[in-house]
């Protein structure tokens, strides 16, 4: 029985896309922000995004990279919500607010950011 293209496993084709220079730069950037390996970011992108969306992520990331306040930028919220759409915008905003409140209430900045990154990773890995 023959399979249509859309029925095939497209992971290898998606990986080829992610190995391009600009896509690899996005994967490295997200991996650095979240404190995980680039391969983990690639795995998430392959699982969550379709081919057409995946091909356009460098341009989408370029468009939002300079948006957001300092905490949201450090956490990569514009990239994860608006460019990659791995998180709903509302969840990203809630994470930023929660992190800012923690810092304001005396939690060390590094600790608050680490906790936020762990929460982000948990949310996008589901």
pLDDT digits (tens, 9 = 90+) for 9-18: 788 899 999 9
Task: Report the C-alpha gap between 76 and 82 in whole angstroms.
Answer: 10
Region 44-50 average pLDDT:
94
Is there a contact between 95 and 116 (Cβ–Cβ < 8 Å)? yes
Nearest CA-CA partner of 119 in 98, 103, 89: 98
Q: What percent of the chain has pLDDT over 70?
A: 94
Domains of the chain: 10-125 (1.10.3070)
- The radius of gyration computed from the CA coordinates of the chain, to the nearest angstrom, equals 16
Residue 40 has pLDDT above 90, yes or no: yes
Instruction: Tell me, yes or no, if the pTM score tops 0.75.
Output: yes
């Amino acid at each position: 029985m023959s399979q249509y293209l859309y029925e095939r496993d497209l992971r290898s084709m998606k990986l080829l896309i992610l190995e391009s220079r600009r896509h690899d730069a996005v994967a490295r950037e997200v991996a650095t922000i979240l404190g995980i390996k680039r391969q983990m970011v690639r795995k998430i992108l392959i699982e969550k995004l379709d081919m057409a969306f995946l091909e356009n992520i460098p341009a989408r990331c370029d468009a939002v990279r300079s948006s957001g306040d300092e905490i949201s930028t450090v956490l990569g919220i514009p990239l994860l919500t608006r460019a990659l759409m791995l998180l709903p915008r509302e969840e990203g905003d809630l994470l930023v607010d929660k992190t800012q409140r923690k810092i304001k209430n005396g939690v060390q900045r590094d600790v608050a950011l680490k906790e936020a990154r762990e929460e982000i990773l948990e949310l996008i890995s589901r």
